[in-house]
A and B are shown apart, each in its own frame.
Chain A
């Protein structure tokens, strides 16, 4: 749904690769998981625990919690508040969260 504008400092030097549901996604250093997700064809972040409907990042500032995703080592967190780092593994949260060790 979104595309990156050219960066003054050049694009190649400032990117990392994260993994969303096993697929590689190029991200710009300093951006969040949610903003990288929004450039993907499937830009949704989770399905709801109530009806299973797909949700996507909505507010990008941490107040709607629609972008809750499973982030390696951190558990279920707001993707819009989670900075990318190279190799970071992220999964869409499907329905209700299952209890288990996360950190």
Chain B
């Protein structure tokens, strides 16, 4: 049984940055991550790609992750890649399975840096083979370096959809059309939200504007204000139907549709521990309740990075460092690097988050995401449609009873794809706010475990 000072779950920007600060200060740190190499989703494969033509096409921000990955590799933290955490007990006993078998880690403190997942985007036909997320396609760009074999249709809202289109074109791929589902936002109001951040983040804003301009120029078609999006087909995707802002219904033929409706904090791990969460109306997402260090309602667990609330890679780095500084403080250590101070980290974090309210407002997801039509599958695993859930909801049950009645959230993904939609349906049916509704309770194991993995625990002296 491994007994480090600190266990970090996730080797993305936040997890790595925290590990570097903590390990350099002399703490015994273990980092477990599901991927084979460090970087998280944002810097996935950066060690292999930086310095190649693929790296250049992915952009400078992507390649900048290499410095953090290298520092992480050398910082002295124990790093277990390709390892999944399937349970963390309230006493911090943590069960992991990876190439070294099943192990138990009992750290003094845990930092959860599990990042984000894409917001479930329920629409009719979204379970058809041929419908994938934009994030999935971006993962394929990074490793193994593959692009849609034909000019691709993208539908959605959010910076990632624009970034992917930009990267795809740079890599020699093509965009057949972009169905922009972003609700029209009064630009003046959005800019007011950004306030002085506009001046400080003019570079970022200019970059975003240029992606839009490029898209309008390079995509075969650019259709703004798209609603009533549906994927068509029987055995696989054959086409897409949508309604334009002008109210015209159009249909296109395609075998691949990439969808994206923003990202959400990964809360599965956090919620399995009973840590308190709250509804963030600005981000239209649940997030953990945290203090300024990333400490949550569990006294010995901290949360950093996008898992703490969507902020992007740069904010994740600074949140990771701040949590690490707090951990050092609690364990009686000081940071080894000069300049690694609370004040510097907070200044940098504020700068990194300055544009966020603007982005949240401009890319606020459309209402249909939370109230899909009756025919739309909500729970992909159990193939439950809105009308199935509405029928069960007539008896005014909570999320956990609804799960027991319908099996929503009981399939292999354990509610990762339907939890938010189900919470929204409950809120609508009962006339409650999202802040009054809790998503499904999360049960262990967090990831599937084989009986032989459980049996492997005998080697850890835990056969009882």
Contact in complex: A103, B452 (CB < 8 Å): yes
B117, B383, B413: which has the most chain A beta carbons within 10 Å?
Answer: B413
In the complex, whether A12 has a CB less than 8 A from a CB of chain B is no
Contact in complex: B383, A61 (CB < 8 Å): no
User: How many of B's residues come within 8 Å of A, CB to CB?
Assistant: 49
With A7-B145, A48-B383 known as contacts, the answer to whether A65 contacts B140 (CB < 8 A) is: no
With A1-B148, A1-B255, A81-B34 known as contacts, the answer to whether A60 contacts B236 (CB < 8 A) is: no
Q: Measured between alpha carbons, how far is A55 from B117 in the docked complex, in Å?
A: 20
Q: Measured between alpha carbons, how far is A8 from B236 in the docked complex, in Å?
A: 34
In terms of DSSP, what is the predominant structure of the interface of chain B?
Answer: loop
Give chain B residues whose Cβ lies under 8 Å from the Cβ of A68: 412
Q: Measured between alpha carbons, how far is A52 from B117 in the docked complex, in Å?
A: 27
Of A50, A54, A58, A60, the residue contacting B383 (CB under 8 A) is A50
With A1-B255, A2-B140, A65-B413 known as contacts, the answer to whether A56 contacts B132 (CB < 8 A) is: yes
For A54-82 the 0/1 string (1 means CB < 8 A from B) is 11111111111110100000011100010
Contact in complex: B136, A4 (CB < 8 Å): no
Query: Which residue on chain B has the smallest CB distance to residue A82?
Result: B82
Give chain B residues whose Cβ lies under 8 Å from the Cβ of A58: 131-133, 136, 380
In the assembled complex, the CB of A85 is this many whole angstroms from the nearest CB of chain B, namely 12
Give chain A residues whose Cβ lies under 8 Å from the Cβ of B452: 102-103
Of B136, B148, B236, the residue contacting A54 (CB under 8 A) is B236
Of A30, A35, A44, A75, the residue contacting B129 (CB under 8 A) is A44
With A5-B54, A103-B450 known as contacts, the answer to whether A61 contacts B146 (CB < 8 A) is: no
Q: Measured between alpha carbons, how far is A81 from B160 in the docked complex, in Å?
A: 22
Of B48, B382, B411, the residue contacting A30 (CB under 8 A) is B48
User: How many of A's residues come within 8 Å of B, CB to CB?
Assistant: 42
Give chain A residues whose Cβ lies under 8 Å from the Cβ of B129: 43-44, 54-56
Contact in complex: A4, B36 (CB < 8 Å): no
Q: Measured between alpha carbons, how far is A30 from B44 in the docked complex, in Å?
A: 12
Contact in complex: B413, A63 (CB < 8 Å): yes
In the assembled complex, the CB of A78 is this many whole angstroms from the nearest CB of chain B, namely 8
In the complex, whether B417 has a CB less than 8 A from a CB of chain A is yes
Name A residues whose Cβ lies closer than 8 Å to a Cβ of B: 1-5, 7-8, 27-28, 30-32, 35, 38-39, 43-44, 48, 50-51, 53-66, 68, 75-77, 81, 83, 102-103
Name B residues whose Cβ lies closer than 8 Å to a Cβ of A: 34, 36, 41, 45, 48, 52-54, 82, 117-118, 127, 129-133, 135-137, 139-140, 143-149, 171-172, 235-236, 255-256, 266, 380-383, 411-413, 416-417, 447-448, 450, 452
6 interchain residue pairs of minimum CB distance: A56-B129, A65-B412, A60-B136, A31-B144, A28-B144, A2-B146
10 contacts between A and B (CB under 8 A): A1-B256, A5-B146, A7-B145, A8-B52, A30-B45, A44-B129, A55-B129, A59-B118, A60-B133, A62-B447
